[in-house]
Chain A
Amino acid sequence: MSTSAILTMVLTQVFVTGVTGYFFYKVLKSPNKEEE
């Protein structure tokens, strides 16, 4: 694999996984308003 392909793949996949994880973390940390 060329360096540019590896870089594009790793950066994209880390970014997408990170953002997905971040939003799930926020969901789990936010209180459920109906149950407050």
Chain B
Amino acid sequence: MSNEKQSWGTRIGLILAMAGNAVGLGNFLRFPVQAVNNGGGTFIIPYLVCFFLMGIPLLWIEWSTGRFGGRNGNHCTPFILDNMGKKRLWKYIGVFGIFTNIAVAAYYTYIESWTLSYVLHSLKQSFSGLNQFEVANLFGSYVDLNTSTLGIPFEPLLMYIFCLAINVYILSKGLEGGVEKVAKIGMPLLIAFGIFLAVRGMTLGTQGAPAGCQDCDAFLGLDFLWKPDFSNLWDAKVWLAAAGQIFFTLSVGMGTIHCYAAYVKPKQDVALNAMAAGWMNGFVEIVLGASIVIPIAVGYLGLDWVKENASFSMAFQTMPYLFGKWGAALATASGFMWFGLLFFAGITSSLAMGTPWMGFMQDEFGYSIKKSAITFGIVTLIMGLPTVLFFKEGVFDQYDYWAGTVVLVVFALAESILFGWIFGIDKGWDEINAGADITLPKIYKPILKYITPTMLLIIFVGSLVLPQNNDWEKAFKEEWVFDESNSIIGQITNSDIKHNRDWFSTTYEAPIGGIVTQVIPGEEGILPVILIGESPKGPLISLDQLKTIETKKQVELHNVEDIIEVKPGQVIEAGFPIASGWHLNPIFYRGFARFMLLALFGYLSYLVHLAHKKRKLSL
């Protein structure tokens, strides 16, 4: 084991670091969108119920499990779980507690680098004078490796590496000197920036309404967000959305909380600390997160626009345009604060993701803090490069779906069963209560044993067989059709991809049926494009008429040399070969992303196996 013994400097530092781990971009972007889509003000009822029945129990499980591990010299999940479960399987389930953190850090650091770039853009006043579409397009240009928005060559790649280097540098300073220091500076700043923007959102009213816009009123946005619609309260979709939000906002099921809590001193409280950190996350989400994006967007763009477009991407594609309406000085300050707030939310989370690997390498292989931080950077870079280089091809989304969503639920379910049923609820209850500065309600004992694992099981099964359009009522009463894009079964079978299902092919199949309205052959630097529109009802059509048909799909081929096999006016069916040439289809990138994730899991499992052997030899 490493000789460098680490621990938290202060209790407030620990709580701020834990809260920083939980507070992420989702608090400001995911929560309001979920609330808007799930009954407005009514959403808070299932949200709070899930927080009490699933969030709080999971926080207590992970904090107490972590402290238990730390007391026995284990600072990450494989050997913490091994210590509790006494069966070989548990240490390999514990691998998820390092795996998820590296896989999520790999793409999360990329989002962090966007926020940092947008801080610079705000200071440079790059958004000044741009219209809404130009601001939205700037993001598309940013993630394109061939264009530069700040004048830096390979900008997204270099900014990503720079952000990762910042993380590694802070991690190399240790818990007290690095992570805790950043949390103590970052969290108060995040809250201060959040309060400024929330006050602006709450008081904007119709000040920003363009002439003629009837529904441009920030108060309408707040009304939409908070007006209860009790007819939604019994909808399974709303409850699953609330449970999912609680789950992701608290950063449970990752192994990060275990690791942070493993550095808590043996006699120190975990019950109250978990409450303080968990509720602080709730404050940032419910009080600040709900008061910024939705009201400001409705104030300028109208309620109808927000209902149709509310999504995560608004942070980068819409907010800078809206800040621009406040005049140059305030726009610069607000952009700086908004993206600064997101950056602090991001970095306090990504630093937490670095600690399980570091704890593991220090415990098992005697690495120094610096060496373990550098190796974290290397492994994360190897995993993260594909998300940067093949962002548009969907590698990022695959990492987010599998490592950042599915695995979390699986791991949380496993640890709740371990805690309540294998380690034993009596021992577990004593562990939570040891050194506690609050008295825990006894009702939580059965909740920990029965309710929390059941809720997690429901979430997992719900994700496995998620029905189309999230319509549970139709699924139960009529026919159960899987959501091809979002259900686990749909994802595993790639059933949302109907055509071009081979990794490599020599023909390219039309993704949709219709009439070819235009073909643009490729030339140097320009990829060939085929435009497909709705087929006309009549049998014949002139070239002039073709120009009036609205494009349904713009198919951009991947190679300049592709030979287009269709002509304008030709009616085609989905799956018809429209071009010939060598193709690397999008499905390949899905396979590649999954291979990377499996390889990481295999590598970490091998390291755990080596560590296990090493431990046996030293006995």
Query: A1 near B287 (CB under 8 angstroms)?
Result: no
Query: A27 near B11 (CB under 8 angstroms)?
Result: yes
Interface positions, chain B 435-460, Cβ under 8 Å from A, are 435, 437-438
Query: B222 near A9 (CB under 8 angstroms)?
Result: yes
Smallest CB separation, B364 vs chain A (Å): 26
Smallest CB separation, B374 vs chain A (Å): 31
Query: A2 near B223 (CB under 8 angstroms)?
Result: yes
Query: B275 near A8 (CB under 8 angstroms)?
Result: no
Query: B41 near A5 (CB under 8 angstroms)?
Result: yes
Smallest CB separation, B160 vs chain A (Å): 34
By a CB distance below 8 angstroms, the chain A residues around B269 are 30, 33
In whole angstroms, what is the CA distance A17 to B286 when docked?
9
Cβ-neighbour of A20 out of B225, B227, B268, B282 (below 8 A): B282
Residue on B with the closest CB to A29?
B437
Query: A4 near B227 (CB under 8 angstroms)?
Result: yes
Cβ-neighbour of B287 out of A5, A16, A27 (below 8 A): A16
Query: B223 near A20 (CB under 8 angstroms)?
Result: no
By a CB distance below 8 angstroms, the chain A residues around B225 are 5, 9
In whole angstroms, what is the CA distance A30 to B276 when docked?
13
Interface positions, chain B 197-255, Cβ under 8 Å from A, are 219-220, 222-223, 225-228
By a CB distance below 8 angstroms, the chain A residues around B267 are 33-34
> Given contacts A30-B272, A32-B268, are A5 and B435 in contact (CB under 8 A)?
no
Question: Does B279 have its Cβ within 8 Å of any Cβ on chain A?
Answer: yes
Query: B268 near A5 (CB under 8 angstroms)?
Result: no
Residue on A with the closest CB to B217?
A1
Smallest CB separation, A30 vs chain B (Å): 4
Question: Does B12 have its Cβ within 8 Å of any Cβ on chain A?
Answer: yes
In whole angstroms, what is the CA distance A1 to B303 when docked?
13
Smallest CB separation, B477 vs chain A (Å): 30
In whole angstroms, what is the CA distance A1 to B226 when docked?
9
Query: A30 near B227 (CB under 8 angstroms)?
Result: no
By a CB distance below 8 angstroms, the chain A residues around B124 are none
By a CB distance below 8 angstroms, the chain A residues around B227 are 2, 4-5, 8
Question: Does B280 have its Cβ within 8 Å of any Cβ on chain A?
Answer: yes
Question: Does B567 have its Cβ within 8 Å of any Cβ on chain A?
Answer: no
> Given contacts A24-B276, A27-B272, are A8 and B226 in contact (CB under 8 A)?
yes
Question: Does B390 have its Cβ within 8 Å of any Cβ on chain A?
Answer: no
By a CB distance below 8 angstroms, the chain B residues around A17 are 283, 287
In whole angstroms, what is the CA distance A17 to B290 when docked?
13
A1-20 CB contact bits vs B (8 Å, 1 = yes)? 11011101100110011011
By a CB distance below 8 angstroms, the chain B residues around A20 are 276, 279-280, 282-283
Smallest CB separation, B202 vs chain A (Å): 9
Query: A1 near B222 (CB under 8 angstroms)?
Result: yes
In whole angstroms, what is the CA distance A13 to B268 when docked?
30
Smallest CB separation, A18 vs chain B (Å): 10
By a CB distance below 8 angstroms, the chain A residues around B222 are 1, 5, 9
In whole angstroms, what is the CA distance A13 to B195 when docked?
13
By a CB distance below 8 angstroms, the chain B residues around A24 are 15, 276, 280
> Given contacts A32-B11, A34-B268, are A8 and B228 in contact (CB under 8 A)?
yes
Question: Does B332 have its Cβ within 8 Å of any Cβ on chain A?
Answer: no
Query: A26 near B279 (CB under 8 angstroms)?
Result: no
Query: B226 near A5 (CB under 8 angstroms)?
Result: yes
By a CB distance below 8 angstroms, the chain B residues around A1 are 219-220, 222-223, 226
By a CB distance below 8 angstroms, the chain B residues around A13 are 286-287
By a CB distance below 8 angstroms, the chain A residues around B465 are none
Question: Does B614 have its Cβ within 8 Å of any Cβ on chain A?
Answer: no
> Given contacts A8-B227, A23-B275, A26-B437, are A16 and B11 in contact (CB under 8 A)?
no
In whole angstroms, what is the CA distance A16 to B437 when docked?
20
Smallest CB separation, B132 vs chain A (Å): 26
Interface positions, chain B 6-47, Cβ under 8 Å from A, are 11-12, 15, 40-41, 44
Residue on A with the closest CB to B19?
A20
By a CB distance below 8 angstroms, the chain A residues around B40 are 5
Cβ-neighbour of B44 out of A12, A23, A33, A34 (below 8 A): A12
Query: B265 near A34 (CB under 8 angstroms)?
Result: yes
Cβ-neighbour of B286 out of A6, A12, A23 (below 8 A): A12
Residue on A with the closest CB to B288?
A13
Question: Does B65 have its Cβ within 8 Å of any Cβ on chain A?
Answer: no
Q: Which residue of A2, A26, A27, A32 has the most chain B CB atoms within 10 A of its CB atom? A: A27
Question: Does B101 have its Cβ within 8 Å of any Cβ on chain A?
Answer: no
By a CB distance below 8 angstroms, the chain A residues around B518 are none
In whole angstroms, what is the CA distance A26 to B15 when docked?
13
Query: A8 near B44 (CB under 8 angstroms)?
Result: yes
In whole angstroms, what is the CA distance A35 to B279 when docked?
26
Question: Does B349 have its Cβ within 8 Å of any Cβ on chain A?
Answer: no
By a CB distance below 8 angstroms, the chain A residues around B74 are none
> Given contacts A1-B222, A4-B227, A33-B268, are A26 and B282 in contact (CB under 8 A)?
no
By a CB distance below 8 angstroms, the chain B residues around A28 are 12
In whole angstroms, what is the CA distance A28 to B223 when docked?
36
In whole angstroms, what is the CA distance A32 to B223 when docked?
44
A positions within 8 Å CB-CB of B = 1-2, 4-6, 8-9, 12-13, 16-17, 19-20, 23-24, 26-28, 30, 32-34
12 A/B residue pairs, CB under 8 Å, sorted by A: A1-B219, A1-B220, A2-B227, A5-B41, A5-B222, A5-B228, A20-B279, A26-B438, A30-B272, A30-B437, A32-B268, A33-B267
Q: Can you add 14 more A-B contacts, CB < 8 Å, to A24-B276, A26-B437?
A: A4-B228, A5-B40, A5-B222, A5-B225, A20-B282, A24-B280, A27-B15, A27-B273, A27-B276, A30-B272, A32-B268, A33-B265, A33-B267, A34-B267
The 6 closest A-B pairs by CB, nearest first: A8-B41, A5-B227, A30-B437, A9-B226, A5-B226, A23-B276
